[in-house]
Structure 1
């Protein structure tokens, strides 16, 4: 119990990725004197079966080839471009065939917004312009890819579960929807909380902490406290949508909240960047959760 309480105090369970938490809980539970051995065995078996399914899915994703149409692109871009192009085409074809809804203009707008946000950041950097904290967050919440990822996921879920009555409404309102924007803002705040120190050492000063410190004349600690408050604020907005969708569209609610939980896991609540600086033990834990079954 003490170990569970300690973990919960580090980061709320609601923000955590269920898949990795299941493995952590199994590890804690099997050391409990009052544990049920049959229940423990079933939990391990269930985890290992699901893990084998996920590994097969990863193997399928790794089979994409490079089409001749993109031979001019650098090698490292070809796989990414092909995956995006094929996936966008498949989504558009499915919705067009099933409900005569053309979502290609919607997908194009998504990527236009993402690319424009990235270009805006580049302009700020090279012009020496210091945006306000709010101005920075509005742009960087898009450039981090949250809106694109969430929108893709929602469209995919809508098609998989034939919930097309939600599609038109979602497309019409996604630009002002907290369901789309909040995950991007949370991701950006987590990113900047965890990477600012290393970025500043590399001479990269465009981040929320610097913007807020310059705008408000406060310390780094105060800026970080403000970001923690914003993170909770956006979680509250997201939770409102999750509750609303949990009745009529629970699968949409599930996929969106799990995406935000993944972001928390990547940045460990804003402590470090899993893609960059990360403890070796945490990397091994993540790899084990994906590739190593639990010993029975």
Structure 2
């Protein structure tokens, strides 16, 4: 009996036929996700959260690792479009250069959700929502902690070296901006060198070695845009015969387990949390978008500030 013929049956007969037919299972949601890469402890936790949350929700996840290359992400997004996924989500390597491929997704009527990092586009309708942190505020929190530290320690001049994240990436741009805004109120706090460490431990160590060679004992503070670069820098500081956390105060961002271990060992002074566990929020947002429900354009996660004094107590509670 065809569906067309059923529409002409009486209500009782139709109900009887419907009861006899097997239930048709709803098609599982398919999400295409392009990840930046695996450059840090934070990113590993972020990927695990997304994979775990989609698996638990019964979502079909198509995952692509961009290995920190924008062209790889563009290629992955176009592949997702060709495969007609229900939702595209990605954490962009850099902020700019997305207009064309996002317009292709929009023309294909595939909603796009940004996670962790934002993009700069002329048309905000090219994506439906951004899920992540307020990177400017993270930079401000790092700067405010250093202002308080300076005040408690005699308000002496402090020379700062800065390990920036990937050039052009939203967290690198915003964490630099927020930190600079915060320390501007104290002219005794001065950034004397600033260079990208690409958010990696190896590059953080390499750049810190260069800072130490050029600036030596003039360095009082290291501000790292993420914990992995800070941990790499700690190795360089120790190899130079200095004590990290004492000879050079270290302020970093992310709040990963390795940072808490470094703080417990007295080698790092404070970490500003950037929560990587975005999987459950992504799943909920994707389900709402697929159901045609309105979602917030920007969804910000809750985060804290963790100085070394609380590291031992907090370490057992860290999930990443």
The TM-score normalised by the length of structure 2 is 0.22
Which protein has the bigger strand share? 2
Which protein has the bigger helix share? 1
Please identify the structure whose Cα radius of gyration is greater. 2
